[in-house]
Amino acid sequence: MVAELKPSALVVAQDAQRSVLLAHPDSACPAVSAILVEARLAAAAQLSCHYALQGDIGRLRLSDSPRATRTDGLWRHTCFEVFVAASTAGYYEFNFSPALAWAAYRFEDYRHGMAPARLAQPPRLRVQQSPAGLELAATLDLAGLADLAAAPRLHLALAAVIEDQGGRLAYWALRHAPGVPDFHHRDAFTLELRAP
């Protein structure tokens, strides 16, 4: 049975694309029962993503020091991610921490030519947490990223890295490529959003 995304203050929009992230078969996390995601591309080049993690939050390692700043290495701990491509080669990676830290990178090709992405403004992040769940909503202004802002459609790979209290990482994605977890792989870019 697929879990339903329950309405909350952080739900992105009624017309958002909704999906369920799948755990990589080699990285289970019994504390998490489901991760649901929504993504929406709005006018004025706004990409909104909403992640809803359901499970025993007390068994997860979450940063408790809010720092709404650009921070590298977020993928080493609990974070939510979106990879966005408009062309066949280059793409962007965005990471969002429950502590409100974020990161943005541009890649020229598959794991090649990585550089910090220059955003017109930082992502807007909101987080809600309870003992049974965690929700994170992120809104990205793509106006400063000309190749994304002008594209008639975008291809997304939505993902999450979840760290338990023992320091073990679990990898969740819309689709996993064969082998080790790899969110950069083109097989992961399964969600298509069209410009309004």
Is residue 12 in a domain? no
For 97, the domain range is 17-48+57-172+179-194
Is residue 124 in a domain? yes
Is residue 9 in a domain? no
Is residue 6 in a domain? no
Is residue 67 in a domain? yes
* pLDDT of res. 195: 81
Is residue 2 in a domain? no
pLDDT < 70 positions in the chain: 1-16, 64-65
Token pair 């004025």 is found at 44
Is residue 3 in a domain? no
* pLDDT of res. 125: 96
Which run of H or E residues covers position 169? Answer: strand 169-173
Question: Structure tokens of 79?
Answer: 């974070």
Burial class (CB in 10 A: 0-12, 13-18, 19+), 50: buried
Burial class (CB in 10 A: 0-12, 13-18, 19+), 70: middle
From 183, 169, 172, select the one nearest 21 (Cα to Cα).
Answer: 172
* pLDDT of res. 131: 92
**Could you give the CA distance from residue 189 to residue 139 in angstroms, rounded to a whole number?**
19
* pLDDT of res. 1: 26
* pLDDT of res. 64: 67
Is residue 11 in a domain? no
pTM comes to 0.90
Counted domains in the chain: 1
